[in-house]
Amino acid sequence: MSGRPAPAGAAGRQPHRARAASRAAGGERTTPRSAVRLGPRLSSLSLERLLRAGPRPEPAPLPPARAETGALTFGIVVFPGSNCDRDCEYVLREVTGVQTRMIWHRDPELGALDAVVLPGGFSYGDYLRAGAIAAVSPVLGAIRRFAEGGGLVLGICNGFQVLCEAGLLPGALIHNRDARFHCAWTYLRVERTDTPFTCAFAPGEVVRMPVAHGEGNYFAEPATLAELERERRVLWRYVDARGEPSPQANPNGSLHHIAGICNAAGNVAGLMPHPERASESLLGGTDGRRLFASMVRWLLERRRG
Amino acid sequence: MIAVRVIAFLKPGVLDAQGQAVQQGLEALGYAVERVRVGRAFELVLPEQDWEENVRRMCERYLTNPLIEEYRYERLGPAAPPAKGQDDP
CATH number of the structural domain B2-75: 3.30.1280.10
- CATH among 3.40.50.970, 3.50.50.60, 3.40.50.880, 3.90.1170.50 for A62-304: 3.40.50.880
Q: Which residues of B touch A127 (CB under 8 A)?
A: none
- Asked if B33 has any chain A CB less than 8 Å from its own CB, the reply is no
Tell me, rounded to whole angstroms, the distance of Cα A57 from its chain centroid: 19
- Pairing type for strands A115-118 and A258-262 reads unpaired
Could you give the CA distance from residue B21 to residue A194 in angstroms, rounded to a whole number?
A: 41
User: Which of A164, A168, A175 is best to mutate for the B interface (most B CBs within 10 A)?
Assistant: A175
Tell me if B10 and A174 make a contact (CB, 8 A cut-off): yes
Could you give the CA distance from residue B66 to residue B38 in angstroms, rounded to a whole number?
A: 16
Question: Residue A133: closest CA among chain B residues belongs to which residue?
Answer: B62
Nearest to A179 among B10, B18, B63 (CB): B18
pLDDT of residue A7: 41
Q: What are phi and psi of A283, to 5 degrees?
A: -95, 10
- Pairing type for strands A99-104 and A73-78 reads parallel
Nearest to B68 among A128, A136, A174 (CB): A174
Q: What share of chain A is helix, strand, coil (3-state, %, to 5)?
A: 30, 20, 45
Domain chopping of chain B, boundaries = 2-75
The answer to whether B72 and B66 are in contact (CB under 8 A) is no
Tell me if B68 and A253 make a contact (CB, 8 A cut-off): no
Choose among A201, A6, A2: nearest CA to A88. A2
DSSP letters of B7-67? Answer: EEEEPTTS--HHHHHHHHHHHHTT---S----EEEEEEEE-STTHHHHHHHHIIIIIS-TT
Could you give the CA distance from residue A224 to residue A122 in angstroms, rounded to a whole number?
A: 27
pLDDT of chain A, 305 residues: tens digit per residue: 344 444 443 333 444 444 444 444 443 444 344 444 444 444 444 555 545 555 545 555 555 677 789 999 999 999 999 999 999 999 999 999 999 999 999 999 999 999 999 999 999 999 999 999 999 999 999 999 999 999 999 999 999 999 999 999 999 999 999 999 999 999 999 999 999 999 999 999 999 999 999 999 999 999 999 999 999 999 999 999 999 999 999 999 999 999 999 999 999 999 999 999 999 999 999 999 999 999 999 999 999 88
Query: Does ipTM surpass 0.85 in this model?
Result: no
Q: How confident is the model at residue B19 (pLDDT cuts 50, 70, 90)?
A: very high
Tell me, rounded to whole angstroms, the distance of Cα A72 from its chain centroid: 17
* A256 is a catalytic site residue: no
pLDDT of residue A67: 79
Tell me if A174 and B20 make a contact (CB, 8 A cut-off): no
User: Which of B68, B70, B71 is best to mutate for the A interface (most A CBs within 10 A)?
Assistant: B68
pLDDT of residue A260: 98
Mean pLDDT, range B38-65, rounded to an integer: 96
pLDDT of residue A204: 94
Nearest to B18 among A171, A175, A220 (CB): A175
Question: Where is pLDDT greater, at A47 or B70?
Answer: B70
pLDDT of residue A26: 40
Question: Residue A136: closest CA among chain B residues belongs to which residue?
Answer: B62
Return the H-helix or E-strand segment holding A227.
Answer: helix A222-230
pLDDT of residue A22: 45
pLDDT of residue A192: 97
User: Which of A219, A250, A254 is best to mutate for the B interface (most B CBs within 10 A)?
Assistant: A219
